[in-house]
Structure 1
Amino acid sequence: MMLQIPDVLSPDEVAHCRAVIDAAPWVDGNATSGFQAAMAKNNQQLPQDGPAAREVGAIIVQALQANPLFVSAALPHTILPPLFNRYGEGMGFGDHVDNSIRRNPATGAQIRTDLSATLFLSDPDDYDGGELVVDDTYGSHLVKLPAGSLILYPASSLHHVTPVTRGTRTASFFWIQSLVRDDAKRALMLDMDVSIQRLAGQVGQADPSVLALTGTYHNLLRMWAEV
């Protein structure tokens, strides 16, 4: 399941985040790459343990936790601290699949990466190229979203970033361990939640049909959740 989540950050929040990270020092993006990714990767990255990454990462996580669509779609167990990358002219990132396990630098715990997320911090008009291309069973999907919007997709997907030919593409990227590991089951849970909210808007939250569907939703979550 691929899902676009608009307006995770407001324009004012995007402007503040960009002011903080643009003023910080950047390093070679291979600082956090695995062996295979390092062969395909050409970008810059904000040091993940620096004050700018920590400050802006906290803003992003707080916004995600308050976003109903993100919570419903991801069913997050753990959100890894957001990282930040920047692509200038001629930079890109070839085909790769994200690591299945990553270490949470805040806790040292090993985290299963069920979902990958990219939060765009540059508007599409600011650069040419730089599309995120995600391949799945339905083909290739080109993603280039407004600043403040996010794309969520299975971390097992083959994906790449096309070379930037003008301007600079700045984004945050991170991974989520979901309460529900299986992508098809997460998609079903999202569909059910959307249906519950739509039905509740029509007949009221206390209607027996809404209560019954809500009960089914939570029973499925009890069966499928890994905590």
Structure 2
Amino acid sequence: MIFSIEQILSPDELAEIKQVLEQAEFVDGKLTAGWHAKLVKNNQQLKTGTFQKELQRKIGVALADNVLFQSTVRPKAVHSLLFSRYSEGMSYDTHVDNALMKGSSSLSRSDVSFTLFLNSPQDYEGGELVIEGVQEEQSYKLEAGSAIVYPSTTLHRVNSVTQGIRLVAVGWVQSTIRDAGDREILFDLDTARRAIFVKSGKTPEFDLVSKSIANLLRKWADV
């Protein structure tokens, strides 16, 4: 399931992050790419250090507080988060994300990927995130503070930036629900449950849907 989430970051949070990035050091993005991705990756990434850790913490808090992100992704851990910069002529051609990634202490699965846009689409030309499907492609270039969430299993690319600078945070999640189809079922049920509650409160129908969600979590959860 591909999902866009608006306003994960507030304007004040965005301003703080952009101010940090303006004075921070960036390095060649190939340093964190797999052996085949190095062939097609042409961008810059925030150098590992104090700045990176503080920004990771800020975004981690914002994701934890976002109900839609939690319901859609059901994260067990957001185990990797990078800050990328694309200037004129930079791109990241077709690739698939690594299935296993080094977290803080061990390997983690990449079930869900996300791109969090940090500056306005009016700040640059090109630079669309393109997710490839079986028969068609979908391109995304969202407002600052918004994110696109998509399965890590997909082939995707970032088109060349032809003018300006593109700033994004890209992250990977190991979900408590390993299968993308199962995550979608739980999301649909949770959406229906919330709609029932808003309309009618805690009804017998609300309780039945809540029971189904709880029992499916017991059946599918990887904890």
- Same fold by TM-score greater than 0.5: yes
Taking the aligned partners of 2:120 and 2:4, their CA distance within structure 1 comes to: 15
Residue type of the alignment partner of 1:50: G
Q: Distance in 2 between matches of 1:193 and 1:53?
A: 34
Contact 2:116 2:168 in 1 (8 A): yes
Query: What's the counterpart of residue 165 of structure 2?
Result: 168
1:109 deviates by 1.1
CA distance in 2: counterparts of 1:123 and 1:87, whole angstroms: 13
Aligned to 1:56: 55
Aligned equivalent of 1:210: 206
Give the equivalent residue in structure 2 for 1:78. Answer: 77
Label 1:221 to 1:148 Cα distance change in 2 as closer, same or farther (>3 A). Answer: same
Deviations 1:48-83 (A, max 9, x none): x31111111100000000000000000000101421
Q: Distance in 1 between matches of 2:11 and 2:61?
A: 16
Contact 2:112 2:175 in 1 (8 A): yes
Matched, 1:136 2:133: yes
Are the aligned partners of 1:21 and 1:53 in contact in 2 as well (CA < 8 Å)?
Answer: no
In structure 1, list runs of 5 or more residues that go unmatched.
none
Distance 1:222 1:138, change over 3 A: farther
Q: Which residue of 1 aligns with 2:6?
A: 6
Matched residue, 2:86: 87
Residue type at the aligned position of 1:121: L
Where do residues 105-184 of structure 1 align in structure 2 (5 Å cutoff)?
A: 106=104, 108-137=105-134, 139-184=136-181
Q: Which residue of 1 aligns with 2:191?
A: 194
Residues 202 and 138 of structure 1: CA distance in aligned 2, closer, same or farther (over 3 Å): farther
SS at match of 2:138: strand
Mapped to 2, the partners of 1:31 and 1:50 lie a distance apart of 15
Structure 2 CA distance for aligned equivalents of residues 64 and 137 of structure 1? 30
- Alpha-carbon deviations, 1:145-203, whole Å to 9, x = none? 00100110000100000000010000000100000111111011111111000011111
The runs of 5 or more residues in structure 2 that have no matched partner are none
1:33 maps to amino acid: A
Alignment identity in percent? Answer: 40
Counterpart residue type for residue 132 of structure 1: L
Partner letter of residue 200 of structure 1? F
The 1-side partners of 2:97 and 2:80 are apart by 15
Aligned to 1:20: 20
What residue is the counterpart of 1:102 in the other structure? 101
SS of 1:90's partner is coil
Which amino acid in the other structure matches residue 157 of structure 1? T
Letter in 2 for 1:92: S
Match of 2:76, SS state, is: strand
Give secondary structure in 2 for the equivalent of 1:89: coil
Name the counterpart of 1:43: 43
| 1:68-119 alpha-carbon deviations (Å, 9 max, x no partner) | 0000000000101421000000000000000000010x2x211000000100
Q: Which amino acid aligns with 1:93?
A: Y
Tell me the amino acid that sits aligned with residue 77 of structure 1.
K
Sort the Cα spacing of 1:157 and 1:13 in 2 relative to 1 into closer, same or farther, 3 A.
Answer: same
